[in-house]
Structure 1
């Protein structure tokens, strides 16, 4: 909403200054209205209210669980599910998508709580991850039948909960999440295409990155990092070299390039962390510096190849480059000089980094004058 208001102010200013004519200004406003997400502050508050209301219903039912008969318990859960899904569909049929999606979310939360409460009531066997898996499956079916973007996002969030619940080794198959999480995310990606739930795409990308890190830590195997670095680098290079092709295939080229870029850098940072945590020996510092140079090289490559057109890649590269320079300085120079000298060196480094960013921004601005960024 704030971005839209800001753009409207800029359009009015351009129109007033004569940079664009009245017809162009009106076309820009109509384009903003037609491509608006329709999910501004009101939609966010509606979803937040749905989450809080769902939590209130769960707390109320759980607090009075023993005082109700079994029939009342089951009937109450089914009633909330029915009101949520049917009420949401009714509101959507009237054109009220915000509260319709909020009612869907209340029903999805109630479904998960109902699984836990009914399982406790009838002493059903199974562990937490099995219950969460049933929850995500039911939410996916609801998202498919109701074509609900918010239920797709909820499915991705519950899949993340399943990932971390699966790390509990007390019961169930210990490593079933290795193949189940990618399958669930693949289904969610299909639901994103079907429901046009664009927000869920970011959740899927973030959960995939979390999945890679969890697998690396859980299995203590660097193979997944190499694979993630390769795939991340491939997506980044496709966006940098052939953005039109990637956009035609996915319709999400810049974001995929940015997520691929951050995945590549995270894998390299994890390799550096592994070297640092393996112990101090004669090869530790040189190996850290070697990986550090690879990180710096990738950061500069990101700026050169796609920083002029992909703002996310640009600022990821700036951030990682700056932090890596300071880290290498701390690991090498910082161990050999005193505190005051280190702060002096760090201050000089930060000023040099600032000069680097300013010069790079000017170069990138010349390559893409349409995007103006204030430094």
Structure 2
């Protein structure tokens, strides 16, 4: 909603400046109204309310669980599921894009709570991860049947919960190595089927989390090298094969951004030497090599893709600034007094600001040139 309001202000300014006529301005405003998602602040608050309501239902039932007859417990869970899924489908049939998803989300939360509570009621044995897998499967089936984007996001979020539970269970089983990618692949298919663009961001973040969980489990530097290579490949594919990647994925810029993020995180792990056997050199040598690689990646990101990819652009600025500040604090911070330290830090931050301003001008000029050529 805020984004569409900002666009409308720009349209009004363009019209007032004589850059576009009234007919073009009206067409642009209608296009903004037609293409905006409508899931603004009201939708976000509605989803937050659904999560809180689901938590309240779980807490209420759990607090009085022993006092309720078993039949009442089961009927209560089924009733909430019925109201959530059927009520949501009814609201969706009326064109409601917010409260239909809210009802779906309440039902999905209740489904997970119901699995846990019924397992406790009948003293069913098993790992918590197995119960979460059942929760994921049920949510995915509901997302497919109802073609709901919120349910796809709920399935991905539950997959992330599964990864955390696997961590808590100390990796007793290696099944997650192939199961999590399979779940994310199915989620990607559901996101495409339900036209849930937001779900793709959750899938990407969960995939990145999975990669580093695998590294933590195996304690093998090879996983990080593969992650760095995969992140670089995604970034470079968007840079040099933009049209092809966009044609096949429709999401080239976001893929490049997440690939670049994975590369930066990997280089950060190398720098801080989370394990001892990555390099054969000393820890300080590791830090210097990794720092140079991080700075080079940030500059490379700005140069190759920053003029057209805002995610890469601001991630590069952030990483470059933090790395320069870290290296400065690490080196000069131990050599000078407090007042001199703050003086040097202030000068350094101003120099970084000047760098960002100059880069912004160059990138904007490059963007304008690219648009003119197109």
Q: Aligned partners of 2:127 and 2:5: how far apart in 1?
A: 49
1:89 aligns to what?
89
Structure 1 CA distance, aligned partners of 2:339 and 2:131? 56
The corresponding residue for 2:202 is: 203
Secondary structure of the residue aligned to 1:95 is coil
CA distance in 2, matches of 1:283, 1:108: 51
Q: Look up the SS of the partner of 2:363 in the other structure.
A: helix
CA contact (8 A) 2:90 2:100 kept: yes
Q: Once the 2 structures are TM-superposed, how far is the Cα of residue 266 of structure 1 from its aligned partner?
A: 0.8
Change over 3 Å in CA distance of 1:306–1:30 after alignment to 2: same
CA 1:147–1:276: 2 relative to 1, 3 Å: closer
**Structure 1 position 2, deviation (Å):** 1.1
Residue deviations 1:150-185 (CA, integer Å, cap 9, x gap)? 000000000000000011337x84332222111111
Alignment partner, residue 17 of structure 1? 17
Kept after mapping to 2: 8 A contact 1:247/1:253? yes
Partner of 1:106: 106
User: What is aligned with 1:80?
Assistant: 80
**Secondary structure at the residue paired with 2:37?**
coil
What is the deviation of 1:219?
2.3
CA–CA distance in structure 1, aligned partners of residues 274 and 185 of structure 2: 33
TM-score normalized with structure 1 length? 0.94
Task: State the distance in 1 between where 2:14 and 2:31 align.
Answer: 16
CA RMSD of aligned residues (A): 2.0
1:328 alignment partner in structure 2: 327
Distance in 1 of aligned mates of 2:166 and 2:156: 15
- Post-superposition CA distance 1:356-375 (Å, at most 9, x none): 1111111111101399xxxx
Contact 1:275/1:284, CA 8 A, preserved across alignment: no
Unaligned runs of 5+ in 1: none
Confirm or deny that 1:250 pairs with 2:249: yes
Contact 1:12-1:25 at 8 Å conserved across structures:
yes
Q: Does 1:153 align with 2:148?
A: no
Q: Which residue of 2 aligns with 1:215?
A: 214
- Aligned residue for 2:116? 116
Aligned residues: 369
Tell me the CA shift for residue 344 of structure 1.
2.8
Pairing 1:134–2:134 present: yes
Shift of 1:43: 1.5
- Segments of structure 2 that go 5 or more residues without pairing to the other structure are none
Q: Is the 1:80–1:110 Cα contact (8 Å) retained in structure 2? A: yes
The TM-score, its normalising length taken from structure 2, stands at 0.94
Indicate if the aligned counterparts of 1:166 and 1:175 stay in contact, CA closer than 8 A: no
Shift of 1:51: 1.1
